[in-house]
Amino acid sequence: MTEDLLTIGSRTFRSRLLLGTGKYRSFEEMQQSLEASGTEVVTVALRRLDLSQPGQPTLLDYLDTERYTILPNTAGCKTAEEAIQIAHLAAAMGLPRWVKLEVIPDPDYLLPDPVATLEATRQLVKEGFEVLPYINADPVLARRLQDAGAVTVMPLGSPIGSGQGLLNLPQIQIIIEQARVPVIVDAGIGAPSDAAFAMELGAAACLINTAVAQAGNPVLMARAMKLAIEAGRAAFLAGRIPRRPQAVPSSPLTGLVGSPS
């Protein structure tokens, strides 16, 4: 069997778990969690440098950029223009010319703006970026983004950090069914069972942050997520049995002991 690789745009990976670097209790815990997860792609945000505390340890002191491919996000951007600017800043920083595009005007549910996301995708694709848009699970939007040149679509299972699992399941299934690019389930995954389920349904990968970073033991949870994603992917490739309304015995119905015939 040939190796089962994940291709996102021009980049290819073995791991199907993309991991966020936010909300860990310490940089050390983050570092160990990344290690345990087997991830090859980690997301980062761009923010103002803290000028009041020079010499403080930063994320970069703990992130092996030779080992992990950095995926900059545009978290915090409320408009297409802001998101495009962050993509430009990330590129100027020397990061790979790809971006997890988030345009989120709504602070309560952190739901992305579909119109601004499509606008920003078109512009960034024109500029040569590989765009990974974070979207609500809208199959029509997913198709429009693919038409615009997005290298993946990343529907949310449920709101960011909510841990509610795959509430948008039927729409995610339609997106996967119609997709011409890998579909990455991003946001809402709370437990390994959510991640495994997404993968069983044919998601190409999962992007997870809070469920690992805020777990009681993040390092152990990172490993659990890795195993869940591997199990879910294997199950998808293996092909699950159909659901039936009635039971089907697993043991032979003939040759029953003491039967008259």
Partner 1 sequence: MAEDAASQVELMTIVANGQPWHVPRESTIADFLGQLALTPGRVVAMLDGTIIPRERFAETRLHEGCRLELVTMVGGG
The residue type of 206 is C
Q: Which residues pair with 71 in a beta bridge?
A: 43
Question: Cα separation of 14 and 229, whole Å?
Answer: 12
| Residue of the chain from 2, 54, 246, 257 that contacts partner 1 (CB under 8 A) | 54
| Residue of the chain from 25, 47, 67, 126 that contacts partner 1 (CB under 8 A) | 47
| Residue of the chain from 51, 238, 241, 257 that contacts partner 1 (CB under 8 A) | 51
Choose, from 78, 100, 126, 226, the residue flagged as catalytic: 100
100 is catalytic: yes
Q: Does 128 bind partner 1 (CB under 8 A)?
A: no
Of residues 1 through 30, those in contact with partner 1 by CB under 8 A are 20-24, 30
SS3 192: helix
Residue 215: CB partners within 8 Å, gap ≥ 6? 221
- CB of 256 vs partner 1, minimal distance in Å: 57
Of residues 162 through 201, those in contact with partner 1 by CB under 8 A are 187
Q: Does 94 bind partner 1 (CB under 8 A)?
A: yes
- Residue 159: C-alpha distances to residues 68, 108, 175, 192, 210 (Å): 26, 9, 18, 17, 11
Based on its alpha-carbon atoms, the radius of gyration of the chain, rounded to whole angstroms, reads 21
- CB of 157 vs partner 1, minimal distance in Å: 13
Residue reference for tokens 């998808």: 236
Of residues 199 through 228, those in contact with partner 1 by CB under 8 A are 207, 209-210
Residue 79: CB partners within 8 Å, gap ≥ 6? 103, 105, 116
**Complete DSSP assignment for 217-238:** SHHHHHHHHHHHHHHHHHHHHH
| Residue of the chain from 7, 10, 58, 217 that contacts partner 1 (CB under 8 A) | 58
Residues lying near partner 1 in the complex (CB under 8 A):
20-24, 30, 43-49, 51, 54-55, 58-61, 63, 70, 72-73, 75, 88-89, 92-95, 160-161, 187, 207, 209-210
Instruction: State the catalytic residues.
Output: 100
